[in-house]
Structure 1
Amino acid sequence: MNFAIVGCGFIAKKHATAIENIEGAKLAAVCDKIEAAMAPYVDEYGAIAYTELTDLLQDDSIDIVCICTPSGLHAAIAEQVAAANKHIVLEKPIAMTIEETNRIITAAETNSVKLAVVHPNRFRPVVQELRNILDSGALGKISHANCIVNWNRGQEYYDQAPWRGTKQHDGGVLMNQAIHNLDLLLLFMGDAQEVFSMEATRLRDIEAEDVSTGVIRFESGALANVQASTTVYPKNYEESITIFGEKGTVKIGGSNALFFEHLQIEGMSEEETVILKEKVIADPWGTPGHQQIIRDMIEAIKLNRKPAVTGYDGKKSLELVLAFYESAEQNKSIRLDKGATV
């Protein structure tokens, strides 16, 4: 199938590499307002360069469009892509508001095109193994969880482009980095019911937050603490999720949440624990998440099924981030079943 990438910034390279590594997939076109940004894709992949989206969408050979633009532009572009009857792989977050998200989902459904949202951390081997543990019921009733993203993003990161760190097009640490981890929390813990949050902009010269902390109550009654920052000196320090259950405690962690840092489950022998830990250590990244999402999209089209990460999955993660923002702004708890209003 022929792919096009719209927006040739940093994340576009991951999409191009993923497409290149999938048999039967080809990067046929790229689109960006800046011609120089498209040059590497023309030279390396032989992609046709378009400076106007309307021109690209008239190319009948394009089957799937990867949208890699600033987040605030997702909705307008996705609507045009869907109207051209091309399937959509959309970088996270799905959009910046629920209104924009609903427009994207409606456009995809109205035009009968597939919509996949890029939450690649779901495909990490350690995440898959933790899902298996939770699905088996081995941890019993879950009491609570901890979710930590203490990373470094220096001022130079935000200064790369004028949209970075803005509330309109990018958001802060919750929207841009920790949304992946909130997505995993929802995957592990089920739907969120209520949040309370505080946030601050402490060290980076940006409009959005560089530090956030909050609490989630899930519909199951379980709780979770969330801490996220891009202010850690001098490099990424920790990305982890810990699940506490009546029959076990599991922590996936490290600087990129790739390993079992703690694994103790009732009935699991020391030998079984070591084998599972070493299995993950042997291939911690596995097949890159972008590659798995793009391959899954191809299969979803061929089999006429939903993609692995749907627009509704992307919407749930966004709702949680927006509830955090609303709570911090109003200094009160926000119920998700009533919907975030930001």
Structure 2
Amino acid sequence: MSKRPRMEPVRVAAVGCGVVWRHHLQAVLAMEPRLLVYTSVVEPDLSRRLSALKDSGAKKAFATLEEALQADPDQELFEAVDIMVPNVGTLHEEVALIAQKANRHILLEKPISVCIASGQRILQSQGPEKVLAVAENAQYWREVVEAQRLIQSGAIGDVLTVRAKFWESAHPALNEWAADGSYEAGSFIADAAEGFVFDGGLHWLRPLRMFLGKAQSVSAVAGRALPHMRGPGMTQALICFECGVTAVFEAILAPGAISEQPFFVIQGTKGEVVLDGFAGGGRIYCIQDGKMMEQAVVILVVPGR
């Protein structure tokens, strides 16, 4: 029997080498077999650019995507771009359009852009012969997938409500994003109108849609947890879904200490599913033989949430 030919890895340029980049690189280096390889890095900050070049083993480093594309008109160095720049203003759209004009495959960090019109322009500009993929990993968290299966199997009966909590600390000793300066005055998250909730909340909203389907209406309030942050640093929302269930979504960037809290609590007529926080794992609670029973859903530490 002849062996299948080994697929050559996709040659990729990493665009934006901050905290998200480190998680993308970690995932790529853990691939077996290696499906893609970073052949170049693009980062305006010199220190980060040199560090990314060393850590990735890329061949070349550039300050801008335009510079990288000018140096590689025939796609010999990279055929795809992994866009991890801050999602503020129209920056995602600007960088994506540059890559699209150069006819490259695109992996774009979530959210696509800051508004529907900008996102639609990105989608409409992508050529049919090239791939445009959005990097949003919550739909693949094993705990979320297992919770969806439990709901669909009827293990907890009919869903009555879901509570979702997106939380972090802004203290640099407690959070790698804070240690990287992401929440300091002058950072893109602090200065942008979108703020903390918009940037990370998608990781909680996507699972809610997986559990409950399409949202119908939302009632919410937002506020500031950090005085220097322009956009929302916290929010409380009631989301009504077409299935008739109402979910509670809460988000907060705490200035200091905050306790370990579940990401999701799914209450049904026969039991409850709890998905734990950043350490991963979860539990299902049900009644057997007249007693409350607790059983592990899945135990998994997921790096780079």
Partner of 1:100: 118
Aligned positions of 1:173-188 closer than 5 A: 173-188=196-211
Counterpart in 1 of 2:22? 13
Which structure dedicates a bigger proportion of its chain to strand?
Answer: 2
Stretches of structure 1 that go unaligned for 5 or more consecutive residues are 291-342
Give the distance between the partners of 1:265 and 1:186, measured in 2 at CA: 27
Counterpart position of 1:208: 231
Query: 1 or 2 for the larger relative contact order (CA 8 Å, sep ≥6)?
Result: 1
Aligned twin of 2:83 = 67
Question: Which residue of structure 2 lines up, in the alignment, with residue 293 of structure 1?
Answer: none
Aligned pair in 2 of structure 1 residues 53, 203: CA closer, same or farther (>3 Å)?
closer
Q: Is structure 2 residue 277 aligned with structure 1 residue 259?
A: no
**Matching residue's letter, 1:75:** E
Structure 2 unaligned spans of 5+: 1-9, 172-177
Question: Counterparts of 2:239 and 2:46 in 1: how far apart (Å)?
Answer: 44
Pair 1:166-2:223 in alignment: no
- Length-normalised TM-score, structure 2: 0.81
Separation in 2, partners of 1:257, 1:190 = 27
For residues 224-277 of structure 1, what are the alpha-carbon distances to aligned partners after superposition, in whole Å with 9 as ceiling and x for unaligned? Answer: 111110126314532421222233321212x3272224432789x988x63x44
Moved more, 237-246 or 28-37: 237-246
Higher-helix-fraction structure: 1
Residues 257 and 4 from structure 1, CA distance in 2 versus in 1: closer, same or farther, beyond 3 angstroms?
same
Deviation track 1:118-160 (CA, whole Å, cap 9, x = no partner) reads 2223222212211221232433432221111232124854127
Identity of aligned residues (%): 25
How big is each residue's C-alpha offset from its partner over 1:166-190, in whole Å with a ceiling of 9 and x where there is no partner? Answer: 335xx22321232211111112111
Match of 1:148 in 2: 165
Q: Would you say the 8 A contact 1:249–1:265 is kept in 2?
A: no
2:240 aligned with 1:240, yes or no? no
Structure 1 SS opposite 2:275: strand
Greater Cα offset, 215-224 or 120-129:
120-129
SS of residue paired to 1:149: strand
Residue type matched to 2:278 in 1?
N
8 Å Cα contact 1:149/1:227 also seen in 2: yes
Match for 1:49 among 51, 54, 61?
61
Larger Rg: 2
Paired residue for 1:190, among 196, 213, 216? 213
Secondary structure of the corresponding residue to residue 71 of structure 1:
coil
Matched, 1:35 2:46: yes
Aligned to 2:7: none
Residue 252 of structure 2 corresponds to 229
* 1:4-44 superposed Cα distances (whole Å, 9 cap, x missing partner): 11111221111122222221421101112223221012223
Give yes or no for contact 1:5–1:31 (8 Å, CA) kept in 2.
Answer: yes
Q: Which residue pairs with 2:133 in the alignment?
A: 116
In the alignment, residue 226 of structure 2 is paired with which amino acid? L
Q: Which amino acid aligns with 1:25?
A: L
Q: Deviations over 1:31-81 (max 9, x none)?
A: 122232210122233321112312323520312211111102111111221
Q: 1:136 — aligned with what?
A: 153
Paired position in structure 2 for 1:250: 273
Residue 81 (str. 1) matches residue 99 (str. 2) = yes
- Residue 229 of structure 2 aligns to a residue whose secondary structure is coil
Q: 1:91 aligns with which of 97, 103, 109?
A: 109
AA partner of residue 269 (structure 2): E
Q: Distance in 2 between matches of 1:270 and 1:239?
A: 20
Q: Secondary structure at the match of 1:14?
A: helix
CA distance in 1, matches of 2:254, 2:304: 26
